[in-house]
Amino acid sequence: MKDRVDDRNGRISAVFLFPHPPVILREIGNGREEAARATIDACRKAAGIAASLDPETIVIISPHAPRFSDWIFAYDNRILSGTFERFGAPALALSAFQDTEYLRECVGEFRSLGIASGWPGQELMDRIDGGASLDHGVLVPLYWLRKACPSAALVAIAPAFGTPRQVWNAGSALAAAARSAGRRVCVIASGDLSHKVSAESPYGMAVEGEQFDRLVTGAFESGDFSRLLDLPSSFREAAAECGLDSLLTALGALYADNGLSSSDSLPQGLRSTLSSYEAPFGIGYAVAGICPSSASCSDPVRIARTTIESFVRTGNCPDPSAFPKLEKREFPARAGCFVSLKKDGALRGCIGTISPVRETLQSEIMRNAVSACSEDPRFDPVRPEELAELEISVDILSEPEKIASRSQLDPSRYGVIVSSGYKRGLLLPDLEGVDTVEEQLAIACRKAGIGPDEHFDMERFTVERHR
């Protein structure tokens, strides 16, 4: 191993859990993939979140790579590649450059833990089904990640063997190697959950299947992964799972990178998220991740949160170029928007613009985010110690439309703007406790200072709400 480098970029940026059934790929599923639409959409979104972190290297841990009781296998070609020929799609081929420097550091760190690692030699490889070709546990996550992160290099390994705690501890080598090589690394745990969730499964059904899947998905929902370290091997075998060792290795890397033990809570700034779970073929598929709070949300909320965190801590806004550009297909170039903050379920700030006043939607969000956390006259400015507790949403408004009748309003669907002379008030749609048009108009008029006997004009609008 080379001497440690002092590089702030050398770290584990995030961990993601990706399922790996080839059937969810369009080229293989031939329509069957639609049964797993939630999984497909979540994979695409997770890959986008990974891309927003600008990883230099992606590590994919696959339980279907060659596994040895005393060896952590690593694919070791300069260019890593494979096809889906075994699944009836030989033309579907994927490849990526390997980060050979980072892999060397990983092998050295594994060996420092007393774990042999690396390429096992050609003689043994010739006896392994598939040889040096990437297995589907690597290829399926890579299908999404190559599109989102085309410049990232790849390292593909098998998880360690051993007790859950030994597998978890082995992940610390990935974190140490990231620091040593000065790499920003995303770690992908490839694995399906139970193969026996329901009678639809070709492997049969077991009560342990649903139980296992609840434990794993519940861990991501709660952020407490310590329970996964105490699952008996008999329970795991009965559930017929294939993803836990990959996940434990990835978690061990992230926790070690943050100086945490397995029983510690996630630090401020990291968020655990379960993006989707389903079992369309009787096999559990979960897409989940642990990543910076600013990344584990939609792009508008990511912009708002990062702006707020920077402004509250430093008094300055981040450089707009640090954000990925909002997709033109998904977002208008300019629009009014509202940024809302909640803490413990209660409003903590809300400021917005009815129509755009900035050159871009991104700058509109940034300006309103600063206002929401520091200029809402109803609240004191947000303090640094509150940042981790904030729930942030961004409402992007459509162009207001004049209406002539209250019958054209629906408080669950439309927001309303009321105006009388210079007085103007707005109320967003779908607000808790606002169930009728009369309630909606009364609140909007009160905000505008319009009296009960005054005539007022009405406009309606829709919003896209991002959380």
Q: Find how far residue 38's CA is from the centre of its chain.
A: 14
**pLDDT beyond 90 at 389:** no
**pLDDT beyond 70 at 294:** no
**pLDDT beyond 80 at 325:** no
Mean pLDDT, range 384-413, rounded to an integer: 92
- Whether 23 and 164 map to the same domain: the answer is yes
- Whether 68 and 148 map to the same domain: the answer is yes
- Whether 302 and 284 map to the same domain: the answer is no
- Whether 106 and 20 map to the same domain: the answer is yes
CA dihedral 425, 431, 437, 439 (to 10 degrees): -70
Can you list the positions of beta strands (E) in 371-428?
Answer: 390-397, 401-403, 415-420, 423-427
State residue 128's pLDDT score.
Answer: 54
- Mapped onto helix, strand or coil, the DSSP state of residue 155 is strand
Residue 177 resides in a domain: yes
Q: pLDDT band at 387, cuts 50/70/90?
A: confident
Structure tokens at 287: 């897409």
How many C-beta atoms lie closer than 10 Å to residue 238's C-beta?
Answer: 17
Q: 266: which residues sit within 8 A by CB, 6+ positions away? A: 223, 260, 272, 290
**pLDDT beyond 70 at 165:** yes
- Whether 201 and 321 map to the same domain: the answer is no
Highest mean pLDDT among 62-76, 108-122, 146-160, 199-213: 199-213
Q: 436: which residues sit within 8 A by CB, 6+ positions away? A: 411
Q: What is the pLDDT of residues 330-356, one digit of tens each?
A: 788 899 999 999 998 899 999 999 999
The partner residues of 118 in beta bridges, in order of sequence, read 73
Residue whose token pair is 């629906």: 410
| 0.85 exceeded by pTM | no
Distance between CA atoms of 34 and 416, rounded to whole angstroms?
38
The partner residues of 465 in beta bridges, in order of sequence, read 395
Distance between CA atoms of 105 and 3, rounded to whole angstroms?
10
The partner residues of 15 in beta bridges, in order of sequence, read 187, 290
Query: What does the DSSP 8-state code read for residue 360?
Result: S
Mean pLDDT, range 266-289, rounded to an integer: 92
Locate all alpha helices (DSSP H) within 319-380, ordered by sequence. 361-374
Distance between CA atoms of 185 and 7, rounded to whole angstroms?
13
Phi-psi region of 152 (alpha: psi -120 to 50; beta: other; left: phi over 0): beta
**pLDDT beyond 70 at 122:** no
Q: 277: which residues sit within 8 A by CB, 6+ positions away? A: 213, 217, 284, 285, 286, 287
Burial degree of 79 (CB within 10 A; 0-12, 13-18, 19+): exposed
- Whether 359 and 452 map to the same domain: the answer is no
Distance between CA atoms of 350 and 298, rounded to whole angstroms?
18
Residue 5 resides in a domain: no
- Whether 220 and 208 map to the same domain: the answer is yes
- Whether 371 and 264 map to the same domain: the answer is no
**pLDDT beyond 90 at 23:** yes
Distance between CA atoms of 145 and 139, rounded to whole angstroms?
10
- Whether 425 and 302 map to the same domain: the answer is no
Mean pLDDT, rounded, of the chain: 90
Q: pLDDT band at 377, cuts 50/70/90?
A: very high
Q: What is the CATH number of the domain that holds 412?
A: 3.30.1490.150
Q: What is the pLDDT of residues 82-95, one digit of tens each?
A: 999 999 999 999 99
Query: Which residue range(s) make up the domain with 408?
Result: 398-467
Give the helix/strand (H/E) hosting 215.
Answer: helix 207-222
State residue 69's pLDDT score.
Answer: 77
Structure tokens at 464: 């896209």
- Whether 195 and 51 map to the same domain: the answer is yes
Can you list the positions of beta strands (E) in 207-343?
Answer: 270-278, 285-292, 337-343
Q: What percent of the chain has pLDDT over 90?
A: 72
